Structure 1
Amino acid sequence: MSDSTRPHAKWPANRDYLFATGVVLLGFAAAFAAARYLSTANLALILLTAVLAVAVRTRMSVAVYTAVLCFLGYNFFFTPPRYTLVIADADDVLAVCLFLVVALVCSRLATRLASQVDSLRLAQARAAALLSLGQRLAASNDAQSIRSIGAEAMAQALAARVAMVVRNADGGLEAVGPVPPGWSPAGMDLAAADFAEQHTVPAGAGTPYESDAGAWVLPLGTDDHRHGVVALMLDADADGADEGRRGLAVAMAQDIGLALERSRLAEALEDARVQGETERLRSALLSSVSHDLRSPLAAMIGSAGTLASYEQQLSPEERQQLMQSILDEGQRLDRYIQNLLDMTRLGHGALKLNRDWVDANEVVLAAVNRVRKFHPDLPVETSFLHDTVLLYVHPALIEQALFNILENAAHFSPPGESVQVRVDEVDGQLRIEVVDHGPGIPTEERARIFDTFYSVARGDSGRKGTGLGLSICRGMVGAHGGSVEALPGEGGGTTIRVMLPLPPMPEPGP
């Protein structure tokens, strides 16, 4: 590492030499104090220690200056004849020359070691900064938070003022987030940002492009996918070498660009997934409308046509059966349409919860009574709570969800087999289980019965359903913070379990 890239290079040169001179004076003071106790050869070790102290703290040229001072002072003050630069004894000539050689070699080794330590320290600081930035970026998904985190991390690691600049819908550049002092949204800084964004190369201060700008601008992204630029105003007196800081800035900008590209790809994948899901639902809806919704319409039209053509030839009982058939099929069609409307409201987030305190047993009983009305031949066995347990829910939505589950069980239960409804309290939650004795659901398909339109193939309502019932049930219960799951029934069949949270009971009024 060169002198200019050392952390202490920010010191003025005269301060280094003043520091070395002071250390030399202290070394000679210690040598004079020890002269009465030590031999002349041992005094050289004290001066050699001073040379090492300066070499570790400063650059090589200052260490050489210190070694020469100590060499001359040792010769002048301690070798006979004293207070002259003349050396009388040949052994002293060898000792003084060896002192100079050892001082120079030790100073060289000390400065090299200090340089390596500084390089390792800077590398460690750079790796720590990049690791911290990577961890924070990995936890961010949207571009706005990525830019905010990146600007904060770069400002902290580089001791710089940072501005994130993006191209807006009108084609111009604008800063996003806080604008640091000294950043000009117009003029040379903006020209440098525009050049860096268009050509995806660094521009501004310290570069061949738009070098009159006060900021150094780095591109984020590549030629194929540009994500704006980052403008840095590096403080001249900040710790760390300029070359090292610029290398770290480039690496951090690359990480931020990769995170922005990851965010763009995630958004593109999500858009593709939503589009595919929309197409799948559209196809399923068309299939449902063409088959399931036409079935009750065909039955209604057939019954109404028979009444219109043969009313006089039909007996009162036959006319009553046809009218009842029209009523039943109309009600079934109304439920299908209501399910479609509820699913639309759930999918667009338009479902509003008008919560109220309601007895859990009353909500379940209301759903049971509704299913008994539409399926009078279905035996339903109930097991309710003995104590009053209040739910804070939208009663109509929870009743509709339970009705969908019960109607699903009615469609799959064999004739004469009962459907069991069990209500109890478990670990601060209300548990409602609907058990049927139908054919059951294969393990790999239990989760899929809650998918929208799944029953077009074999789902929650069999041949007579649109496949919306259990999907709506999951959406309505989930909106209240609850859950729905399908479990294997005892001795065959299926158990649909609904879990609803039980908030603290309200305080009784005065």
Structure 2
Amino acid sequence: MAHHRNSAVPFQEQGLDSSQGKKRGTLKIFFGYAEGVGKTCAMLNAAHDEQRDGKDVVAGYIETHQRPETEAMIEGLEVLPRLAFPSREFDLDKALHRRPDLILVDELAHHNGADCRHKKRYQDIEELLRAGINVYTTVNVQHLESLHDIVAAITGLSVHERIPDSVFEGADQIELVDIPPDDLLDRLNKGKLVTDGQEQHESLSQVFVKSKLIALREIALRYTADQLGRITRRSGDRAAEEAYHTADHILVCISSAASSKKVIRTAARMAEAFRGAFTALYVETPRSKELTHKSKAELRENLRLAEQLGAQPATVYGDDIPGQIAEYAVSSRVTKIVIGRPRSSKKRWIAKTNIVDKLTELAPNIDVHIIPDTQPARYNKFPSHLKPKGFSTEDALKSLIILIACTLIGLWFRHLGFREANIITVYILGVLLNAIATSGRLYSAANSILSVLVFNYLFTEPYYSLITADTGYPVTFLVMLTASFISSTLTMRIKEQARQSAQKAYRTEVLLETSRKLQQAEGSEAIIKETAVQMVKLVDRTVIFYPAGPEGLKDPLIYSKPEAAVAASEYTGVNEWAVADWVYKNNKRAGTTTDTFSAASCLYHAVRAGDTVFAVAGIVMDREEPLGIFEKSLMIAMLGECALALEKELLSSRQKEISIQIRQEQLRANLLRGISHDLRTPLTSISGNAGILLANPGVLSEAQKIGLYTDIYDDSMWLINLVENLLSITRIDNGSLNLYFQAELLEEVIAEALLHVNRSSAEHIIRTKLEDELLMARMDSRLIMQVLINLVDNAIKYTQAGSTITVSAKRERDLVRVTVSDNGPGIPEEAKTKLFDMFYTADNLRGDGRRGLGLGLSLCKSIVHAHGGTIEVTDNIPQGAVFSFTLQAEEVNVHE
């Protein structure tokens, strides 16, 4: 696809940072009520003041209209080069690359040329603001969208370049550039305003009438005051501001008529005046699908205008338009309804109840505001079911078969002597069956007429003639024809309502199914996949997802619609990727059917939660009809659900990281607390005993010295074992401990371990019991020795002197079970589940009162698990405790 929007690839190559996390720039608007009041000059004066204060100021785009005084004021400012001929438009990418503190961009409401990224200049300014660049700009009152109808009524001119009110209302500063109308007229008469020829002079002459200028000035003053009030409220109490939006709820009913824009603007002004919520409702009826292409385009434009003016779009289905509006209004707590009423060109002899009257009757407690809507919606000349191209041979045959069947039944009834009323009922039943079996009223209407003719021909005297002898038969035929038409019409309406209900139920089911599946999905990839699959079901188009990663967008994921082969390069090329990247960086939608990168083949939406973009979803729209209002709203709801699920997944992972950090902090705090408490006793003992030895070298006997030396040695070994356990646990937890597995004889490992147990082992009876002297296991011998040492030392520490400690090993199939048992006091049940936790220690009843840090058994657990085994503690019958762990058994190689 040849992409001609403004430097899509260069923007990508610049590598601009996402606006997420950046401080947004400030927007100052120089506001005027007419051309020539001096907005541009006032902006240039303010820019020079900022430059004198040391700010980096750049003139991005200034429209001088060849006025010498304006051109002279640009001197001293850096002027940004414009785009190349022929557009000579503002170069957005150069401005983003230059990144000044302040940039001047004249004419906020200007429409950009075809070689620009955005269709409207205010969109360029929004991107500058998101990039953190402050902007000065200018605009006149006639360029505000909600005031268009009012200004057009005053001036008699329709301005095509307009901006949404939200752009104006989002400004940080508004400066009204105001001069008296008499002075403005004097400037016009002196030729200071007109430099572009006679056409512009005539246009200005039509507007520059004193009464009109006074009216425009009044509107500008009032609107500026309202905006200053909004800015004050924004900087004040946010809670109080939110309270305003609960007072009123304005509902505007939109249609496909071009004049519906006036209704929408009026409702927007009301919503702003009442500071209430704003909803735009469209009622889709069976005739909606028969709208002309122009009317469908107008409907989309009206919906887009409502969104630009701050409305929340909504769609309901049904034949009863006032009933649907009233039901939605009551359930949504609407306080005011704004609706347009077309002007009727013909007078009716019989008054027909219109939508407004029905709506007033159905919602008597809601204010209804009626705005003249001069242009009704345009439908195709023939309904879809009556078009010649919709003729179906199959349906025609069905109608003929039903008519023949009814005729045969009627002949049989006449043979049986049934009255003509029974035969009429048969034909009416045939019309009903025909309406059910066929599609479109054409076949039902034809069947009704043919049924009357056949009945007249075969069942009324004179037979086999269309002439009736009885004067009452014409009335009978008329009633029969009317009943046939009514019954077929009601049947078709029921079928259409059933179709609409099924369609609505399907779409709602898709949304509910999406929510259910997203709740069950685990991981961001599964969430994106489920969302994409559901979107394909909803819109019946190919969907492309660009997941967001730490370095930006990842490779696209393509989910094709059924029976559609999509060439990846066609919709994921450099140009399309650039549009998706822009959406990710700017948190805005773009692509086809939008005003940004409208030449793209896909419509791109940001999957976002607040200011965070988790992915970009692209819907392939190339050669496809634009999305309907209901599909679009459901799709946005799906993307919102997806964003919430991705945000939940991100928060969950962050919570896990935080939990790990908290646990590490707790471990560190417990370790420091345990070390500070437990090291005090051995260090005090070592320093005290060393002090005694130094102070009394010749006084102490040899026996006393040996006792002191022994205490110092025992305390030092206790400290060494403590440090070794700490280092081992640290290495295992960090994954930095290297294990060297090989087959080892259990007898040798146990014997070596018993040589390094606590010196207090002399007070206990330690035994070794092996069922096989050649019993071997796969292990890292130095670590398993540490496990055995810790287990034996633990038994020595918590059993009375003279107790028996038994170290045994036996084979259990492919495993070797090693046990360390004692006949001490045993372990309480509540302590068994915590024994292998770090820093847990049981009550020590030994006389020294020294506590351990609770690291020994925790280290044993880590080592055994690293060997792929298990460790547990059980009771020793009749008394004591048994610690056991398992290792992988190895066979003895007798040939070595």
Q: TM-score range by the shorter chain?
A: 0.7 to 0.9
Q: Secondary structure at the match of 2:542?
A: strand
Change (3 A) 1:17 1:477: same
Query: Counterparts of 1:363 and 1:111 in 2: how far apart (Å)?
Result: 91
1:23-53 per-residue CA deviation (whole Å, 9 max, x = no partner) reads 3244345567777656586587468546535
Asked whether the equivalents of residues 30 and 46 of structure 1 are also in contact (C-alpha less than 8 Å), the reply is no
**Aligned residue for 2:160?**
none
Q: Secondary structure at the match of 2:607?
A: strand
Change (3 A) 1:267 1:49: same
Query: Counterparts of 2:557 and 2:893 in 1: how far apart (Å)?
Result: 48
Q: 2:609 aligns with which of 222, 245, 248?
A: 222
- Give 1:397 shift: 2.6
Alignment of 1:34-433 (within 5 A): 37=412, 39=414, 42=423, 45=426, 48-49=429-430, 52-55=433-436, 58=439, 62-63=440-441, 65-80=442-457, 87-90=468-471, 92-119=473-500, 121-122=502-503, 125-126=506-507, 129-130=510-511, 133-134=514-515, 136-155=517-536, 158-165=539-546, 169=550, 174-179=553-558, 181=568, 182-184=570-572, 191=579, 194=582, 204-205=591-592, 213-223=600-610, 225-233=612-620, 242=628, 245-293=631-679, 295-301=681-687, 317=703, 320-359=706-745, 363-364=749-750, 366-371=752-757, 375-385=761-771, 390-421=776-807, 423-424=809-810, 430-433=816-819
Query: Counterparts of 1:46 and 1:189 in 2: how far apart (Å)?
Result: 63
Q: Secondary structure at the match of 2:443?
A: helix
Asked whether the equivalents of residues 455 and 465 of structure 1 are also in contact (C-alpha less than 8 Å), the reply is yes
Deviates more, 1:395-404 or 1:75-84: 75-84
1:326-362 per-residue CA deviation (whole Å, 9 max, x = no partner) reads 4433332222111111111122122333333345565
Query: Counterparts of 2:610 and 2:839 in 1: how far apart (Å)?
Result: 44
Asked whether the equivalents of residues 288 and 456 of structure 1 are also in contact (C-alpha less than 8 Å), the reply is no
When the two chains are superposed, the root-mean-square deviation of aligned CA atoms in Å is 4.7
**Aligned residue for 1:479?**
866
Q: Secondary structure at the match of 1:275?
A: helix
Query: Counterparts of 1:508 and 1:234 in 2: how far apart (Å)?
Result: 76
> Of the two structures, which has the highest relative contact order with CA contacts closer than 8 Å and spacing of 6 or more?
1
Change (3 A) 1:322 1:394: same
**Aligned residue for 1:23?**
398
Gaps of 5+ in 2: 1-283, 291-382, 415-419, 560-567
Q: Partner amino acid for 2:791?
A: I
- Give 1:68 shift: 1.7
Q: Secondary structure at the match of 2:571?
A: coil
Q: Secondary structure at the match of 1:274?
A: helix
Change (3 A) 1:163 1:294: farther
Change (3 A) 1:30 1:408: same
Q: Secondary structure at the match of 1:160?
A: coil
Asked whether the equivalents of residues 592 and 599 of structure 2 are also in contact (C-alpha less than 8 Å), the reply is yes
Asked whether the equivalents of residues 199 and 223 of structure 1 are also in contact (C-alpha less than 8 Å), the reply is no
Q: Secondary structure at the match of 2:557?
A: coil
The count of aligned residue pairs is 498
Change (3 A) 1:138 1:386: farther
Q: Secondary structure at the match of 1:463?
A: coil
Asked whether the equivalents of residues 284 and 453 of structure 1 are also in contact (C-alpha less than 8 Å), the reply is yes
Query: Counterparts of 1:124 and 1:361 in 2: how far apart (Å)?
Result: 74
Query: Counterparts of 1:263 and 1:457 in 2: how far apart (Å)?
Result: 43
Query: Counterparts of 2:773 and 2:516 in 1: how far apart (Å)?
Result: 52
1:110-140 per-residue CA deviation (whole Å, 9 max, x = no partner) reads 3344345445544554465456544543444
Query: Counterparts of 2:785 and 2:505 in 1: how far apart (Å)?
Result: 62
Q: Secondary structure at the match of 2:835?
A: helix
Change (3 A) 1:283 1:25: same
Change (3 A) 1:439 1:310: same
Alignment of 1:464-475 (within 5 A): 464-475=851-862
Deviates more, 1:18-27 or 1:210-219: 210-219
Asked whether the equivalents of residues 413 and 419 of structure 1 are also in contact (C-alpha less than 8 Å), the reply is no
- Give 1:229 shift: 3.6
Change (3 A) 1:435 1:140: farther
- Give 1:86 shift: 5.5
Change (3 A) 1:317 1:279: same
**Aligned residue for 1:454?**
840
Query: Counterparts of 2:391 and 2:579 in 1: how far apart (Å)?
Result: 44
- Over the matched positions of the two proteins, sequence identity in percent amounts to 23
Asked whether the equivalents of residues 547 and 556 of structure 2 are also in contact (C-alpha less than 8 Å), the reply is no
Change (3 A) 1:228 1:304: same
Could you say which structure has the higher helix fraction?
Answer: 1
TM-score normalised by structure 1 residue count? 0.77
1:44-100 per-residue CA deviation (whole Å, 9 max, x = no partner) reads 746854653554553xxx22x222211222233442378876655456445543443
Query: Counterparts of 1:10 and 1:402 in 2: how far apart (Å)?
Result: 88
